[in-house]
Chain A
C-alpha cells in the first residue's frame, strides 16, 4: 500500500488550489492513503481547508513562528523529519514546490520525479522532457521513497466533501537561521489566478509596449479571464514575470486560451498544450501558434481585439 504525504502550499490563510490537484494525482495510485502536511505560523484555517478535500485521510499541522514564510531551507528538514512513514512525498509543480521538493529529496536520499503527468503505478510515472516534446515513462527501483512534483495541468482538482482528522505535530529538527524572508511584491488585482483560471488571455511581443498590454487586460476583464504573457513580452518589460507561460514559466490548462500577438515558440506552446480551446490572433500567417490553435484569426491585434471586445459588451 502506498502512503502519500502532500506538502500543503498556502498563502494568506488559504490553501493553494494546486493541492486538490495533487490529491487527484495521489488518488490515481491504487490504495493510496493520503496525508496533507501544513507548515505555518498558525495553520488552523489552512488545515481545515485541507481536511475538507475528499479523499484525504488525515492532515498534519506543524505550527512554528519560523514557518510564517515558506522558505525551502527552513521547511525541508521539518518535512524530511516527518517523512519516514510515507512511501511518496508529493508537492505541486509551482515555484513553491519546485524550490522545496528537491531539497526534501536530497535529505531523504530519494530520487525526485519532476512534473509528473500520470501515475501508471506506485513506481511508474510519466513526465515531460525537452519542453514537452518528449514524454518519458520512468520506473523507480531501489528506493523506498519517491519524491515528486505534480504537473498541475494534468489533473483536475479533487472535490470538497472530506472531513479528515487534523493532528498536531511538533518541530523536532533544528531550524536554520541562514535564510531570511525579506519581502514579496506582485499584484494581480481582482483578476483570477493564472494557474487555476478557466479562461486566459495572453499577450506577446507584438503588443510592443506595456501601455498596449492594457488592451489585452481590457479583454481579459470583459470575459473574466486571467492575464498571461509570452517570455518575449516579459523580457521586453510589457508584463510582469508572474504572467509568463511556458517551459520556464507556468504550465496551464484553462478551458479557453486566447493568444494575442504571440508567435508560438516551442517553449511557449509547452505551457498551453493542455488548454481546452486555443485561439490565436496574429498578423503573421506563418506563426507556429496557428498549428496548435483550434481557432486562428489572421489580423492586426490592434484592430481585432477592440472588435471582439465591442461584440462582447453587455448591450450587444
Chain B
C-alpha cells in the first residue's frame, strides 16, 4: 500500500484576532473558532492530489491533542482523507515531542511521504517537519511550492529567501507546504456525510511510549508594544517634506 501520512494541527482560525489575557497567562481561547492550520490544509490537499494522480493509494491524516481535535480530523476526512488517527493528550508539547509521536506513526504506517504545513499559525514555531525528518534520518523538502513525484523520488520547488530553489529527494521523505503549493478544495455537504463513516482511531499518547518532556516553560504572554499614533498627510508634497524632515529621503 502506497500511503501518504498528513499531520494536521487544530489552531485558532486565521481570521480571529487573538487577545492576550490580562493576567499574562496566554491568549483567550474561550468561544473562539478553531480550524485546521491553513498550511496543514494545503499539505492535505497536496496529498489528495498525489493520490488522484495515481502516486498513492491511501491518505492517512493524524493529529495530536484533545478529543476536540476530532472536529478537524472529520473536516480532513470530508476533504478526502481515507482514515484518521487522533493521538490523544491533554498536555501541550514542544515540537520535538510532536515529531517523536509522528515518528511512531511513521513506523506503523510506513508512508512514502509525510506532508505537513511549514508552520502552525498559533505558535509560529515551524519545526515539526524538519525534526521528524532528522529523527527519521530521511530527506526534508520544506516550504514547498511545487512537488513532482516519481516512483522513488520527488523534485521539489522551495520558496527560499533568494527566490525558488529546486531539490531532488529520495522517498520516503518529509514535505512541508508553503502557501502557493495549491489551493485547498471546498468541501461539499455529501462529503461531510460520507466522512462520518470513515475510520477515526484514537490512541492515548502513553500507548506510544512517548515521554512527555516539558523543557520549555511559559513564563508570561504579553501583547506586542503599540506604535505611536501617526498622522494623515494631505498630499504627496506634504509626505515628501515630512520624510525629508526625518532625514529619510
Contact = CB atoms under 8 A, between A and B. Distances in A.
On whether the two chains bind one another, the answer is yes
A279 B161 contact: no
Interface of A: 11, 71-73, 76, 94-96, 98-107, 109-115, 124, 128-143, 176, 178-187, 195, 199, 223, 231, 234-235, 240-242, 247-248, 250, 255-256, 266-267, 273, 276-279, 290, 292-299, 304, 307-308, 311-312
B240 A308 contact: yes
Contact of B232 (A76, A183, A298): A298
B130 A129 contact: no
Given A138-B219, A241-B164, 6 more contacts: A95-B159, A102-B131, A114-B125, A178-B173, A278-B227, A294-B228
Interface in B83-100: 94-96, 99
A295 B243 contact: yes
Given A124-B219, A277-B243, A298-B232, A105 B131 contact: yes
A73 B224 contact: no
A304 B161 CA distance: 30
B162 A304 contact: no
A153 to B, nearest CB: 12
Q: Is the interface of A mostly helix, strand, loop or mixed?
A: mixed
B187 interface: no
Give the interface centre of A76, A94, A182 by most chain B CB atoms within 10 Å: A182
Interface in B209-249: 213-224, 227-228, 230-237, 239-240, 242-243, 246, 248-249
A229 B135 CA distance: 36
29 contacts: A102-B134, A105-B127, A105-B131, A105-B134, A106-B99, A106-B133, A107-B134, A112-B95, A115-B124, A129-B123, A130-B12, A133-B27, A133-B223, A135-B224, A136-B218, A138-B217, A176-B139, A182-B168, A186-B162, A240-B163, A248-B39, A279-B239, A290-B230, A292-B227, A294-B227, A294-B228, A295-B232, A296-B233, A297-B239
B109 interface: no
B125 A112 contact: yes
A240 B94 CA distance: 33
Given A114-B127, A134-B18, A296-B230, A140 B216 contact: yes
Interface residues of B, number: 83
A109 B161 CA distance: 28
A136 B248 contact: no
B231 A248 contact: no
B67 interface: no
Contacts of A11: 162
A253 to B, nearest CB: 13
Interface string B98-134: 0100000000000000000011011111111111111
B240 A95 contact: no
A242 B143 CA distance: 12
